[in-house]
Chain A
């Protein structure tokens, strides 16, 4: 049962020994339908609901959560948070202080074009069943397919002892099709997926389920006959999804203020040139470019209005990503990047929608200027290191010879030093799209994020095969 913000506020004001207290009610209703080989693998609804308290006592954090929403249960959880804060205050070297922030008051609802609840369960199950079938019917070589639809509907109430009081409503659906093609012992997979913040129309804005099924199958079949590229340094064009991944993995993580404080490669680089002047990199709670980014956050889990943060401005390092604690240490305002995945998680510094602002190149022009290189499409998993060395995968790789795109090659991993690669950028496309919205970022807890940009040309190392 949902507690009122007044009840939550009463509880956090009941003990005087805290210098700061925050209560967060979070109810998540999630569902998933997944079909493989015509059989339903998952068809589930999940309710996850509870209240957490985070307090500062003597400069140390304490945290506790409960499913109990009656006043007695809330008070017990709150006093547990105070008690564990006291447990750690002696061991804490640097006492926590909180910086200034644009605190949210009111109700905040993310935009939904085509409400998810106007499509009933039967319709969602049928769509997944039909799409999975469509993927398999594309070719005899597509021996199996998987299709899934998921949605996460969140409702939150966040109150803090220094004045935030926000009620939030958020909607994040996802749709994915994977095709598995095989021939002899060779097995190849290809996936098409989309994840947004919004409704049904937002979800399928850039492609219908049938189109996604057809494309996944077509690529899986073509990959059966594709050879692996030879590894080594190369000029590459990244598609918007890959640009999202590089923005998130290679740059984004290094500018999270907690990582900066621990000694990431960008420590002390504010005001310095770190990338080509063609690069303006933004991390935004609500992007003006596209409202449906899967990482859309209107208010963060410390009750701070999520900002549009320019991380790199025309190649110059401009800002890190902050919560209220790190903002105080850097003497800036919180950027609204404190996020918690479920009610029982404490907020951590996380990205939202991370992207590179479009430039002025046409895609064709970008290809034409490459004597020899690769076009990489379809982001797979990635990771970045403390020293800025990144790796991430591409589902499709196409060789470029004398300004023309050649045959499809097998997917590859590319790697490089993030800031060296960004300095090597010599063309940024005028198009824009988000492309990693169906994925999750992991950092002790998951988070829905998105990333994108226009096509981009830079240098990186291809992890191919040495003969």
Chain B
């Protein structure tokens, strides 16, 4: 298939150029796999999945046109090229438009496991059933609302009119579970867990199921507390939603250029506590976004974003790079259905020196949060939301789980107030993240 994808990509670029465009790009993806879903404590449905897509970008008289299709026949591709050209003719000019030229790519080995290709659908049923059974076996009060186990092999190819061509194949096994605990009429907060790997031998659904079970049982019998300001211990999951995601958005050159980031003038300045180090690294093969090139074929290389709390780089794709007269950092992201944007790949926050238990043991009065349900405005940094799976801590001990507790503040201010980073890190999808303690957070109780 790989060879077929790359030749279709080249065919598309050639055909587009015959219509008189200045530049053309084709991005193709093809994937096949199988997935079993769980619902209401039972296996729900087993699916066999095959999908494909082509995204065609053309630049005509410095105007952008884009069209996509999930059908890869030459007839449909030709029609899609014509749609892209038609859009370009209706679009305003933009002198910064430009596609990348070919560059040497890094070797990112070990993201394809041939066993994924051969996986029988019954194997995904078995793993889904095992995950369900493990969650229920942990404690009979656990109820599983939904979940899934799937495996898929994805191939992608990029070609453009500057002679750039590249292709890659990756396998991914993913599993997810969502549920709650029921105890004599008491319904806990729900929790959800997600894991994934490129290799079949690393598939292990049991710890994921047990993590869910542990969290939902711990959130039974919640109590209210008084409102106060104090330290909050964020689990890696919350570090992802509350810190890593808005930070990824704030260091995107697209947001910087549009005035949607507070970091525009903060390069080489201290934006966070010196305990914090952050790098975006698509060559980190354990990460689910590991890959040797980005959405438009630019090479992937590790990019330090923050070192000892000092902001060291923004993320660029070819277009945003041209606006500032600089190279892409390899951060064009997106699928076949849209013009590439700018975003992170595998986001890694460096580990701290101390164990999570020691850090927790030193909190005099604070709370822990394992899930945050709220809104975060990544432009302003303002956030406000409900603490889920949280506990009240006094003299280093977990006293009880929480209900009716909200936290609010500004996520970029939180970065400055980080007091501890744990040694242990967890992989959450494409991110590898520690637990983090932030001081002086506003905690409101109903």
Contact = CB atoms under 8 A, between A and B. Distances in A.
A444 B373 CA distance: 17
B109 interface: no
A134 interface: no
A385 B68 contact: no
A19 interface: no
Contacts of B41: 93, 262
B328 interface: no
Contacts of A233: 446
A93 B40 CA distance: 11
Contacts of B71: 47, 49, 67
Contacts of B99: none
B442 A231 contact: yes
Interface in A386-444: 386-389, 391-393, 410-413, 415-417, 444
Given A185-B262, A228-B408, A87 B122 contact: yes
B380 to A, nearest CB: 5
B45 A44 contact: no
A386 B68 contact: no
Interface stretch (A35-43, A196-204, A209-217, A304-312): A35-43
Contacts of A63: 45-48
Interface in B382-404: 382, 384-386, 388, 403-404
Contacts of B126: 91
* Chain B interface bracket (under 10, 10 to 19, 20 to 34, 35 or more): 35 or more
Given A180-B258, A187-B379, A461 B442 contact: no
A96 B351 CA distance: 48
Interface in B186-202: 187-190
B44 interface: yes
A466 B229 contact: yes
A444 B35 CA distance: 13
Interface stretch (B88-96, B207-215, B284-292): B88-96
Interface in A195-243: 228, 231-233
Given A383-B373, A413-B375, A463-B374, A65 B446 contact: no
Given A67-B70, A84-B34, A464-B444, A386 B48 contact: no
B333 interface: no
Interface stretch (B6-14, B141-149, B360-368): B141-149
Interface in B268-282: none
Contacts of B40: 258, 261-262
Most chain A beta-carbon neighbours within 10 Å: one of B34, B66, B125, B446: B446
A15 interface: no
B446 A121 contact: no
A49 B70 contact: yes
Nearest to A28: B70
B113 interface: no
B373 A385 contact: yes
Contacts of B145: 258-259, 262-263, 386
B377 interface: yes
Interface string A53-69: 01000001111111100
A48 interface: yes
A189 interface: yes
B339 A42 contact: yes
Interface string B233-244: 000000000000
A36 B46 contact: no
A84 B379 contact: no
Contact of B39 (A49, A232, A258): A258
A55 B44 CA distance: 12
A131 to B, nearest CB: 14
Nearest to B403: A389
B339 A44 contact: yes
Given A231-B408, A466-B228, A42 B338 contact: yes
Given A44-B87, A65-B50, A391 B385 contact: yes
Given A92-B42, A466-B443, A129 B92 contact: yes
Contacts of B42: 92-94
Contacts of A61: 44-46
A254 to B, nearest CB: 10
Nearest to B216: A386
Given A93-B42, A463-B408, A385 B339 contact: no
A261 B180 CA distance: 12
A261 B146 CA distance: 11
B43 interface: yes
B85 to A, nearest CB: 11
B49 A344 contact: yes
B76 A262 contact: no
B418 interface: no
B64 interface: yes
Give the one of B48, B377, B442 with max A CB within 10 A: B48
Interface in A69-89: 80-81, 83-85, 87-88
Interface in B66-102: 66-71, 76, 80, 83, 86-88, 90-92, 94, 96
Nearest to A85: B46
Contacts of A264: 187
A49 B128 CA distance: 29
A43 B125 CA distance: 41
A231 B441 CA distance: 13
A308 B126 CA distance: 39
Contacts of B51: 65, 67, 344
Given A49-B71, A232-B227, A391-B385, A87 B46 contact: yes
A91 B442 contact: no
Contacts of B65: 43
A380 B48 contact: no
Nearest to B222: A387
A466 B92 CA distance: 48
A352 to B, nearest CB: 20
Contacts of A180: 258-260, 379
A187 B380 contact: yes
B92 to A, nearest CB: 6
A66 B52 CA distance: 10
Contacts of B36: 88
A90 B228 CA distance: 53
A334 B90 CA distance: 46
Given A233-B446, A385-B388, A461 B406 contact: yes
A416 B260 contact: no
A45 interface: yes
A263 B446 contact: no
Per CB-CB distance, the 5 closest pairs between chain A and chain B, nearest first, are: A231-B444, A463-B406, A461-B446, A393-B375, A413-B384
25 contacts: A43-B87, A45-B68, A45-B87, A48-B69, A48-B70, A63-B48, A64-B48, A67-B51, A87-B46, A88-B122, A121-B87, A143-B259, A144-B260, A187-B259, A187-B262, A231-B444, A263-B182, A346-B37, A385-B373, A391-B373, A393-B374, A393-B384, A411-B384, A413-B406, A466-B443
Interface of A: 30, 32, 36-50, 54, 60-67, 80-81, 83-85, 87-88, 91-94, 121-122, 125, 129, 143-144, 146, 180, 182, 185-189, 228, 231-233, 258-259, 261-265, 344, 346, 380-381, 383, 385-389, 391-393, 410-413, 415-417, 444, 461-466
Given A47-B80, A258-B40, 16 more contacts: A32-B338, A37-B257, A37-B258, A43-B64, A43-B65, A44-B68, A64-B48, A67-B71, A88-B46, A91-B128, A144-B259, A187-B379, A386-B188, A387-B189, A411-B375, A413-B386
